[in-house]
Structure 1
Amino acid sequence: MITIAIVVILLISLYFYGTRNFKYWEVRGIKHDKPIPLFGNNWLGFTFRASMTQVANDLYWKYPNERVVGFFRSSKPELIIRDPEIAKRLLISDFAHFFERGFTPHKSVFEPLMQNLFFAEGDLWKLLRQRMTPAFTSGKLKAMFPLIVERAEKLKSRALAAAAHGKSLDARDLMARYTTDFIGACGFGLDADTLNEEDSPFRQLGIKIFKMQPKEVIKAILKDVFPDLCQNLKIWAHVENDVQELVGQILRKRDYKPSGRGDFIDLMLECKMKGTVVGESIESRKPDGSPETASLEFNDGIIAAQVFVFFAAGFETSSSATSFTLHQLAYHQEVQKKAQEEVDRVLAKHDGKLSYDSVKEMHYLEMVFKEGLRMFPSLGFLLRQCTRPYTFPEFNMTIDESVRVMIPLQSMHNDPKYFPNPEVFRPERFAPEEFDNKNKYVFLPFGIGPRACIGERLGLMQSLAGLAAVLSAFTVEPGPETVRHPIVDPVSSVVQGIKAGLPLMFRPRNKVA
């Protein structure tokens, strides 16, 4: 009897714990679906039947007349923003209330690899951003471009080998290998050689990062449902040793000093040699209202965390975007032909060579790529966390500190209110004379505001170079196993993924001299 009583008490306690915030949106007059105890509105996510992007997309279209929609991730209230004007305000003018991303609920408990620019919060983020911005100037990008060109040539060789055997090639894997090779070279001064070596350690590391095993997925769910109890669980434990070992090898090889290559590792070593990073705090204020002074010691752990995110974010987002764009071009031959004509014309002006300047002239190709990003943004949503009580003037409604807001990019990018006939692949909608200026706050594949992607220009340049390399040498077509509308991987987390890849035929072009 005692055992039964204990079980009943535990179940009742669990119920009240899992429903403790479920009146949050009701008392504020915000429409929302009825949540399930412990799981909130994310049951499909927890059972791996829908990604977070898909869950948010369903709610976006379910409440077409609302500017915001309530949502519960487990028992935690979140707010889905359907109005671009509100999104713009939160990301830019009211950034002081929303400078956190909210992926790390415990500010004092960081697993080592989460101390990076993407996941970091508060002063840690601000000081990292301050130090790392110099790595992404136009001059640095131009200096990196020969490395991009070298990898683009290897990309063509791999595609040519598949074409010679009449086989389809997974565009997702091809572009992931290309971006991984480039990041290995420009980031770490290493020849990853993933385009030639089938089982390259770098490629395997990339797969390992984004193909979380059931053990890691369960940890992530437990951290969501029981954040306080499970705060010390590590989601990235399965790659932590690999990343730290990789960084350690590179640092030892360089004797812990900048090598003169000017790559990402050099930047990190320069930061370490400069000693403590000091700047104005974004979190703390003095009694007179001025910011406190914040500081950060650049140690090997901080360097490893930045290497992790530079590698992971750099290859996964770009390869997702470029491969989806190639998939669309395979089904839109007239668009592909127009892009090829531009690539041929521009390269002819530059002695047939890819270069920083030649890619900058490929305006239609950039429109093609942006249209791919519109239809299937690498990041399906943006997430921000409220840092102090915030009142929405539109509703006279206040949310509390730690409540997260989600901006569903996949939904906004495909809303006919902003992009007529959104299911149609039409790059011309990004022509300067047609792209509505107000839509720049709807089309946000790289985010906007102080926490916009620091590597936006690098990602754009390497993606356009990869596409130009492919289109200059090949015409892509659907293969026998190609699916017209690829299925989104329901286990996708921050970066959207496709189930079973994107197989395409790469037909060598017969150019007329």
Structure 2
Amino acid sequence: MILFLLLVLGIVLYAYFTRNHSYWAKRNVKHDRPIPIFGNHLRNILGLKSLTEIATELYNKYPDEKVVGYYRGNTPELIIRDPDIVRYVLNVDFPYFYPRGLGRNNDAEPLLKNLFHADGDSWRLLRKRLTPAFTTAKLKRMFPLVVMCAKKMQTAAEGIADRGAPCDVREMMARFTTEFIAACGFGIQTDTINDENSRFREMGKLIFSRSWVSLVVVALWDIFPELRSVLKVGDSGVEEAITTIYQNIRSQRNGKPSSRNDFVDLLLELEQKGKIQGESIEKMNSDGPPVMVEMDMDTKCIVAQMFVFFAAGFETSSSATSFTLHELAFNQDVQLKIQKEIDQVLAKYNNELCYDAVAEMSLLSMAFKESLRIFPSLGNLHRVCARSYTIPGLDITIDPGVKIIIPVEGIQNDPKYYDEPKRFNPERFAGMEPSQYKYTFMAFGEGPRACIGK
């Protein structure tokens, strides 16, 4: 009897953990064979491969396919290989794919109310109100602070060279970007460049550190998506630290925007208004136009925007600059060309670094673009199907809730689009209009949910 019950239990569990594993076969979408419980996601759960590595592998494994199926546990996901279909997902049919699907329980983890994790109406309202923080005029006004931090880093680097000491360039760039984000965004002068144990640098490390507990939680999320609303992974210490920073700045500015016109001023202005309003992306009136919606800009929501401004800003900037420096170290011919360009441009500006001077350094810009092509800060872009959708030209219909993976690293390193894709060649972008590589270069994303600082 016990043996029979165990057999029945085994059959039930097998059926439960494989209930969706025929999803892509029914739609004639090629995919690797999934295994019970884990789908195609076991190597990621065990920490053997990142999702970017897995998506890139599948991208290369099925070169003749426009889409490839994937199972994260029991959940079907779709890898988009074709740039034209990417265009539909990210832009043309954006109303079908506006969610990123990264959010969890915002009440349990308030920091996830930020622009990057927000979906639907919350995302649209935040995007509209935060965009003014990234205008060219504001970036120009902030640039002297960036120059001040750069000179500080130059002094520190020269000291390391004089001592003949080893230099962890990735760490140095993380300190540099941390310092100028604190200065430009929050109006706080730190000494992160010289002090590896500064409050902001420690906070940056804490944000991106992962304990074994958090890894187990993420694995459980992937196998049991329902647990995302119950189990949290964020460190409460990060929320407390950023809340304290915001409250201190708010107190110093008497709760009102100052003359600094920085990111915190914009947040203080939004907090004063209390609510933000706009058109819904999720709901339509019966006669056609969108429903008007609103959301509260309370302290937790404000702190969440500070969190993502700091975390996303310093991490992506430091990784991009580190990879660029890495490639320039191994390609000294390119390095010399860029140095020559920098010297020529600065001579026009009395050898003073400024926003307009940097804007003229086209080869330097191409070098950054090339390093971002080879080593994108986000290896994949993620979307979720919001309503039933038939993929143009393929007659494949996917259901609401199916996640989309756009393998940025795979596409950007495909010889079909870039000759010798692993070779660092900034001048491949010379004379090219952005429209020529719009959906084969997506280091900043594309469409309405592209990077707000793009």
Sort the TM-score into its range (normalised by shorter chain): over 0.9
SS in 1 for 2:115: coil
8 Å Cα contact 1:346-1:362 kept in structure 2: yes
CA 1:369 to 1:40, structure 2 compared with 1: closer, same or farther past 3 Å? same
Q: Which amino acid aligns with 2:151?
A: E
Moved more, 126-135 or 214-223: 214-223
Q: Matches of residues 426-505 of structure 1 in structure 2 within 5 Å?
A: 426-432=425-431, 434=432, 437-456=435-454
Q: Which amino acid aligns with 1:378?
A: S
Q: Which amino acid aligns with 2:304?
A: A
Q: 1:114 aligns with which of 94, 112, 115?
A: 112
> When the two structures are superposed, what TM-score results if normalisation uses the length of structure 2?
0.96
The residue that corresponds to 1:302 in the other structure is: 301
CA 1:6 to 1:351, structure 2 compared with 1: closer, same or farther past 3 Å? farther
**How far apart are the structure 1 equivalents of 2:212 and 2:245?**
25
8 Å Cα contact 1:105-1:227 kept in structure 2: no
Moved more, 266-275 or 226-235: 226-235
SS in 2 for 1:228: helix
CA RMSD of aligned residues (A): 1.7
SS in 1 for 2:69: strand
The residue that corresponds to 2:133 in the other structure is: 135
Shift of residue 9 of structure 1? 6.0
Q: 2:223 aligns with which of 225, 243, 246?
A: 225
Shift of residue 6 of structure 1? 7.3
The residue that corresponds to 1:394 in the other structure is: 393
Moved more, 365-374 or 217-226: 217-226
The residue that corresponds to 1:359 in the other structure is: 358
**How far apart are the structure 1 equivalents of 2:176 and 2:9?**
52
Shift of residue 231 of structure 1? 1.7
SS in 2 for 1:154: helix
Q: Matches of residues 111-510 of structure 1 in structure 2 within 5 Å?
A: 111-238=109-236, 239-432=238-431, 434=432, 437-456=435-454
**How far apart are the structure 2 equivalents of 1:229 and 1:367?**
44
SS in 2 for 1:454: coil
CA 1:394 to 1:270, structure 2 compared with 1: closer, same or farther past 3 Å? same
The residue that corresponds to 1:54 in the other structure is: 53
CA 1:438 to 1:361, structure 2 compared with 1: closer, same or farther past 3 Å? closer
**How far apart are the structure 1 equivalents of 2:123 and 2:26?**
34
- List alignment gaps of at least 5 residues for structure 2: none
**How far apart are the structure 1 equivalents of 2:128 and 2:374?**
32
CA 1:230 to 1:82, structure 2 compared with 1: closer, same or farther past 3 Å? closer
- List alignment gaps of at least 5 residues for structure 1: 457-513
Moved more, 230-239 or 305-314: 230-239
Q: Percent identity?
A: 50
The residue that corresponds to 1:85 in the other structure is: 84
**How far apart are the structure 1 equivalents of 2:341 and 2:235?**
46
**How far apart are the structure 2 equivalents of 1:6 and 1:282?**
49
Shift of residue 155 of structure 1? 1.0
CA 1:105 to 1:210, structure 2 compared with 1: closer, same or farther past 3 Å? closer
Shift of residue 88 of structure 1? 1.0
**How far apart are the structure 1 equivalents of 2:7 and 2:195?**
57
**How far apart are the structure 2 equivalents of 1:13 and 1:243?**
47
**How far apart are the structure 1 equivalents of 2:188 and 2:7?**
58
8 Å Cα contact 2:67-2:82 kept in structure 1: yes
Deviation by residue 1:364-384 (Cα, 9 ceiling, x = unmatched):
100111111111011101111
Shift of residue 220 of structure 1? 1.5
Shift of residue 11 of structure 1? 5.0
CA 1:11 to 1:205, structure 2 compared with 1: closer, same or farther past 3 Å? farther
Shift of residue 165 of structure 1? 1.2
**How far apart are the structure 2 equivalents of 1:206 and 1:171?**
16
SS in 2 for 1:446: coil
Shift of residue 289 of structure 1? 2.1
Q: Which amino acid aligns with 1:443?
A: F
**How far apart are the structure 2 equivalents of 1:266 and 1:178?**
23
Deviation by residue 1:388-416 (Cα, 9 ceiling, x = unmatched):
00001211110011111111111111100
**How far apart are the structure 1 equivalents of 2:252 and 2:4?**
62
SS in 2 for 1:447: coil
> When the two structures are superposed, what TM-score results if normalisation uses the length of structure 1?
0.85
Count of residues in Structure 1 that have an aligned counterpart in Structure 2:
453
